[in-house]
Amino acid sequence: MSSFPITRLRRFRRTSGLRGLVRETRLSLDDFVMPLFIGPEPITNDELPGLRRHSVETAVREADELASAGVKAVLLFGIPEEKNEEGSGAWDEDGVVQRALRALRERHTDLVLITDVCLCEYTSHGHCGVLDGEHVDNDETLTLLARTAVSQAEAGADAVAPSDMMDGRVGAIRAALDDEGYESTPILAYSAKYASAFYGPFREAAESAPAFGDRRGYQMDPANVREALRECELDVDEGADMLMIKPALPCLDVIRAVREEFDLPLAAYNVSGEYAMIKAAAAKRLIDERQAALESLTAIKRAGADVVVSYWTKELAQWL
């Protein structure tokens, strides 16, 4: 390669047209998933509009707006009327997510409906599985997660996304879906989900903060990347159809490492704290929200994510 002054990389930066020609990473709405929270008491959060909580009725209206703006996929979270030790609201035929799925399915044949499979929004103690003392019992939890995934598929989910981080859950969910005739329902596994400080605003919206302790006994240590590859490998063996890394910006190296090692479609979750930080800084006029959001989302794609779950998806539909 020749060097300066023959080579001048600024030549292709001179105009917007020239920059566009050589741009390596582009954002398309086709790759984005908008999270939606369904709960008994709808709440609005003016500071974090992506984390507002909908009733089934307003969720349907929101989905209408999203679909007409060009959004292709949503990820549903439910907050039940009542929580209990086991989190039985998660697989209740009449649960919030199941009702929302039926209502959304009826109006939207094309909108991709993905469901979060986890118990933490449904358990009284806020942990992601059933307790044995103060410890989350892995194997007991698998049956409940599998039952939850089947009930969501039954209600119309296009794909199920387990986020609990129990060992063996992808295999348990795959077996249960296949047994019940849902062999065509894909599993989007939150394979490498870290015990992250960036889930705070989500836990408020979903009322799912653990009542005691934390999630470090099942979610991954943010210091590890080889372990993320092992998590992915196990999920692939158990039948995962898509892998996911979460959170996104603190894990760009993990996204890159997984992209290089696996050929499955790869998703990254740009989580609530990543969204809230930029919103808060923008409210103080410290940064420009749109520029900062677009730069973040581009970085996640550049790192190797095919699909991005982001609270900016609705705004992105306006920006692109």
Active site residues: 193, 246
User: Of 128, 172, 220, 264, which lies in the binding site for ligand PBG, with binding defined by CB under 6 A?
Assistant: 128
Q: How far apart are CA 173 and CA 136, in angstroms?
A: 18
For ligand PBG, give the closer residue by CB, 114 or 317: 114
Yes or no: say if 247 and 198 are a contact pair by the CB < 8 Å rule: yes
The residue (of 153 and 161) whose beta carbon lies closer to ligand PBG is 161
Q: Which residue is nearest to ligand PBG (CB)?
A: 202
Q: Check binding of 31 to ligand PBG (CB under 6 A).
A: no
Interacting residues with ligand PBG between 98 and 117 (CB under 6 A): 116
194 binds ligand PBG (CB under 6 A): no
List beta partners, residue 308.
32, 268
Helix axes 289-303, 272-283, angle to 10 degrees: 150
Q: Establish if 203 lies at the interface with ligand PBG (CB under 6 A).
A: yes
Q: Is 202 in the site for ligand PBG (CB under 6 A)?
A: yes
Among 97, 103, 271, 308, interactor with ligand PBG by CB under 6 A: 271
From 100, 118, 130, 278, residue interacting with ligand PBG (rule: CB under 6 A): 118
Beta strands 112-117 and 135-136 are unpaired
- For residue 264, what are the contacts with CB-CB under 8 A and spacing of at least 6? 236, 240, 241, 242, 243
Single out the residue of 199, 228, 257, 259 in contact with ligand PBG (rule: CB under 6 A).
Answer: 199
Q: Which amino acid is at 262?
A: F
CA distance linking residue 136 with residue 218, whole number of Å: 8
Min dist CB 107 to ligand PBG, Å, is 25
Q: Does 272 bind ligand PBG (CB under 6 A)?
A: yes
Pairing of strands 131-132, 53-54: unpaired
Q: Which stretch binds ligand PBG (CB under 6 A): 3-11, 16-24, 141-149, 201-209?
A: 201-209
Residue 147: strand, helix, or coil: helix
Closest CA to 187 of 239, 111, 138, 119: 239
Restricting to residues 205-234, which ones interact with ligand PBG according to CB under 6 A?
208, 215
What is the distance between the alpha carbons of residues 257 and 304, in angstroms, rounded to a whole number? 9
Binding site for ligand PBG (CB under 6 A): 116, 118, 120, 128, 163, 199, 202-203, 208, 215, 271-272
